Amino acid sequence: MRSNVRTENSTKNDHIYRDPAKVKMAYTPDSIWRNRSTFLQGRDEIEVFLTAKWEREKGYRLRKELFAFTDDRIAVQFWYEWHDDEGRWWRTYGLEDWTFAADGLMRKRQMSGNDVRISDEERWFKDGVDVNSVDISERHW
């Protein structure tokens, strides 16, 4: 059974979510990250990484769903769409594994994801669409 717990991070919330200097403060000072094949440690490396990522990924629209949780760990599955500087659209599919410190800050984040080139017609999360209203079939889990 899929969880009804969902989050959204879309262009309308960019001022909140896409400020790397603020986002890094949700992590422990020595937080460990793996994002695909990139390995990071500490808030400063997280800020540099997010700055570059968000400069590259334009029109970013994200949906996350709770996959599993226990004690101090959470796993989510996600889908997000974005376009590059040439206007080509991409959908990224993936899973994240989060581990939290006793103070509630995230101390470890692992992300595995795949980018798939899509046409404008194949986009799910077009402007004005509530990302949580899109029916994502099992084929895309």
Distance CA(42)–CA(29), nearest Å, equals: 5
Which CATH number fits the domain that encloses residue 54?
3.10.450.50
Tens-digit pLDDT profile for residues 59-108: 999 999 999 999 999 999 999 999 999 999 999 999 999 999 999 999 99
**Domain ranges, residue 55:** 6-121
Number of domains in the chain: 1
Q: Is residue 29 part of a domain?
A: yes
Global model pTM greater than 0.85: no
Q: Is residue 81 part of a domain?
A: yes
With CA atoms as reference, report the closest residue to 119 among 93, 89, 91, 92: 89
Tens-digit pLDDT profile for residues 107-135: 999 999 999 999 999 999 999 999 999 99
Angle at 133 between CA 91 and CA 6, to 5 degrees: 80
Q: Is residue 138 part of a domain?
A: no
Q: Is residue 108 part of a domain?
A: yes
